[in-house]
């Protein structure tokens, strides 16, 4: 999307934000463009607005360097920033240049990855499965970046117990009650020994970018602690739907974990409509 003065926030993002956060969303939609312009350094040139569901994401040229500004009204923004910084330290996320919290939400400025094509938009033959698995495995046994972070278990439970779930992909509806009840029972079993470690929380092919030298980068983490089995399950589900990763059947072996546990996480994630 090309930058248009006074029309920076895409209409679909504004609608999604107002629907998901009816108390916070309207103020954010009214103020986020002014917040972005206040942050913009002298001489910086906005290049384009990237597609997003619940945030303003802008490609900016700052003194010859390309960065990505991202703003979100998500109350969990502080935790998302902490996970973003952890990914950068591990070399599987873009460098975090700046971050902040305002009255309307959180924002970050990160390195621009080139070419930066989401895996979900790529030709499957151009994707190196080993590079994808290398990025995922970098999270293995890593501690959560903050104490007392919300957990993926709590987030999934809230979704499964919500009969009027708002945060849904276009064209989807909450799972039937019997499906959610089965998933809740599985979630109780999984939570008994699930570590609260570093995880992405939404490892879909649209949150993994193809960079130079075929490196794969994580972006837009959910801001929760969890486990690599959950991320592997989400990646297997979303990539499998697109038929873009021939190695997805081997994800359990690749992450060195029980395939039945990953299958259980997949059932939970499906019912939660992630």
Considering only CA atoms, which of 188, 46, 209 is closest in space to residue 132?
A: 209
Give the number of domains in the chain: 2
Residue 211: which CATH number?
A: 3.90.1200.10
| pLDDT range class, residue 1, cuts 50, 70, 90 | very low
**Global confidence as pTM:** 0.93
205 within 8 A of 175, measured Cβ to Cβ: no
Considering only CA atoms, which of 63, 96, 102, 46 is closest in space to residue 219?
A: 96
Q: Is the dihedral of CA 55, 134, 235, 272 positive or negative?
A: negative
Q: Is residue 5 domain-resident?
A: no
Residue 129 DSSP class: H
Cα–Cα dist 224/15, whole Å: 25
Residues 225 and 206 in one domain: yes
Task: Work out the average pLDDT over 101-110.
Answer: 96
Residues 79 and 131 in one domain: no
User: pLDDT tens digits for 71-99?
Assistant: 999 999 999 999 999 999 999 999 999 99
Residue 33: which CATH number?
A: 3.30.200.20
User: pLDDT tens digits for 185-232?
Assistant: 999 999 998 889 999 999 999 999 999 888 999 999 999 999 989 998
Residues 54 and 190 in one domain: no
Cα separations in angstroms, 168 against 80, 92, 149, 159, 247: 20, 27, 23, 10, 28
138 within 8 A of 90, measured Cβ to Cβ: yes
Question: CB neighbours of 42 closer than 8 A, spacing ≥ 6?
Answer: none
Q: Report the Cα–Cα distance between both ends of the chain, in Å, rounded.
A: 26
Residue 143 DSSP class: B
Q: Which domain holds residue 34?
A: 11-112
Element containing residue 44 per DSSP (H, E): none
Residues 244 and 259 in one domain: yes
Cα–Cα dist 188/181, whole Å: 11
Q: Is residue 211 domain-resident?
A: yes
Considering only CA atoms, which of 102, 94, 118, 114 is closest in space to residue 47?
A: 114
| 274 CA to centre of own chain | 11
Residues 190 and 104 in one domain: no
Residues 56 and 187 in one domain: no
Give the domain-ending residue among 50, 82, 112: 112
User: pLDDT tens digits for 129-142?
Assistant: 889 989 999 999 99
Residues 60 and 158 in one domain: no
């Amino acid at each position: 999307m090309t930058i248009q003065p006074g029309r920076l926030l895409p209409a679909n993002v504004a609608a999604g934000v107002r629907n998901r956060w009816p108390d916070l969303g309207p103020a954010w939609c009214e103020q986020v463009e002014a917040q972005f312009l206040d942050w913009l350094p002298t001489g910086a040139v906005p290049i384009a607005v990237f597609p997003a569901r619940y945030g303003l994401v802008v490609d900016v040229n700052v003194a010859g360097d390309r960065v990505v500004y991202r703003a979100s009204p998500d109350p969990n923004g502080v935790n998302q920033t902490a996970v973003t910084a952890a990914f950068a330290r591990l070399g599987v996320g873009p460098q975090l240049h700046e971050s902040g919290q305002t009255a309307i939400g959180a924002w970050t400025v990160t390195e621009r990855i080139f070419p930066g094509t989401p895996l979900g938009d790529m030709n499957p033959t151009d994707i190196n499965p080993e590079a994808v698995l290398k990025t995922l495995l970098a999270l293995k046994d890593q501690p959560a970046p903050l104490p007392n972070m919300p957990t993926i278990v709590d987030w999934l439970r809230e979704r499964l117990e919500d009969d009027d779930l708002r945060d849904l992909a276009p064209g989807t509806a909450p799972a039937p009650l019997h499906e959610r009840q089965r998933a809740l029972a599985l979630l109780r079993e999984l939570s008994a020994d699930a570590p609260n470690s570093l995880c992405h929380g939404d490892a879909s092919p649209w949150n993994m970018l193809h960079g130079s030298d075929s490196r794969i980068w994580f972006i837009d983490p959910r801001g929760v602690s969890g486990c690599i089995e959950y991320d592997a399950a989400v990646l297997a589900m979303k990539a499998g739907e697109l038929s873009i990763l021939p190695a997805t059947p081997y994800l359990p072996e690749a992450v060195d974990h029980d395939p039945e546990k990953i299958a259980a996480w997949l059932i939970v994630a499906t019912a939660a409509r992630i």
